[in-house]
Amino acid sequence: MNLTDPTSPSSVARLHAAVHWRISPPFLPEGTLEDRVEALAYLLGEQIALCRETTSFEAEALVVCSTVLSGAISVEQPNLSRFCSTIDRISGLRPEGIVNVYMCTGWGFALRYFTAHTAVRRLAIAIADVDVHNLQWHLAHPVIGRSGFGVTCLLVELPEDRSLHPSCSGPHPNSAFNDFALALRSRQAANGTRMTFLPFINDVLFQPLKRVVVPNYLGPNLMSKYGHCFGADPWIGLIEHLEGKGASAIPSAVLGAIAFNGYYTLAEIAIASTAWLRMEHISFNGTRREANLVSTL
């Protein structure tokens, strides 16, 4: 049974842009910490500005979500001020906040908060997973596997019905993957099957998720290609799935994420027919995003 109509502006959030810039570590290795904070903020600001200009989407608010963003940015006032002011100067939007306690699921919790507790209709979400300290232990996790880094911009029109928002739950420290799989199964039973995009993780962890999605409706686990790219994973999966097909190829999709500390989120997202979806692997010299790409993925 399909209880939602993704073509209706009142039903679910609608995606107008999803752009991911992949950035290989180390990040600005010759710079100081302050240089890296400034550079990361500049990249986020430029990406947001580019998405807004390309789509003519007038975002009313911006929130930054992250798994690896350092407390040196989110807690230390001089760096926090520099970070937010630079993003504001470049993009015209000052972050309303930084969401990192929910790790990879932060974008889902941000969508839920802005849908349920604000009057904002046009939201920009920046997913910032670049390690400004260039720590070796961030390069791979002993359970999940190797990491992929980058910045992602999402431009999302929130639904008219403010009671409709992503499923968010946790923490479930001892059963998160099973609870996530059960929630995914329940969503399919209630709302019908959609193309579904989930985290990139090792095959052992992916199996219980793979078993509950209707065959041919699950985006591939791209762990071997990109590594685990934190909260950006399902969005990368969506972008790659629609490459060469156009945004109108599927009217909506389910995107899900799970955090190592036990949170999960599941969201049905309608895809605007004019949505701008793009993924690039970029180089950066610390003062500007270089015009020439390392590669287009």
Report pLDDT for 5. 57
- Print pLDDT tens along the chain (297 aa): 344 555 555 689 999 999 999 999 999 999 999 999 999 999 999 999 999 999 999 999 999 999 999 999 998 999 999 999 999 999 999 999 999 999 999 999 999 999 999 999 999 999 999 999 999 888 988 878 899 999 999 999 999 988 888 999 999 988 888 899 999 999 988 888 899 999 999 988 888 888 899 889 999 999 999 999 999 999 999 999 999 898 889 999 999 999 989 999 999 999 999 999 999 999 876 544 443 333 333
pTM: 0.93
What local confidence, expressed as pLDDT, does residue 137 receive? 80
Q: Residue 61: beta bridge partners?
A: 123
SS (H, E, C) the chain: CCCCCCCCCCCCEEEEEEEEEECCCCCCCCCCHHHHHHHHHHHHHHHHHHHHHHHCCCCCEEEEECCCCCHHHHCCHHHHHHHHHHHHHHHCCCCCCEECCCHHHHHHHHHHHHHHHCCCCEEEEEEEECCCCCCHHHCEECCCEEECCEEEEEEEECCCCCCCCCEEECCCCCCHHHHHHHHHHHHHHHHCCCEEECCCCCHHHHHHHHCCCCCCCECCCCHHHHCECHHHHHHHHHHHHHCCCCHHHCCEEEEEEECCCCCEEEEEEEEEEEEEEEEEECCECCCCECCCCCEEC
Domain 13-285 CATH (choose: 3.40.50.2300, 3.40.50.300, 3.40.47.10, 3.30.420.40): 3.40.47.10
pLDDT of residue 185: 92
Confidence at residue 288, expressed as pLDDT on a 0 to 100 scale: 46
**What pLDDT does 140 receive?**
87
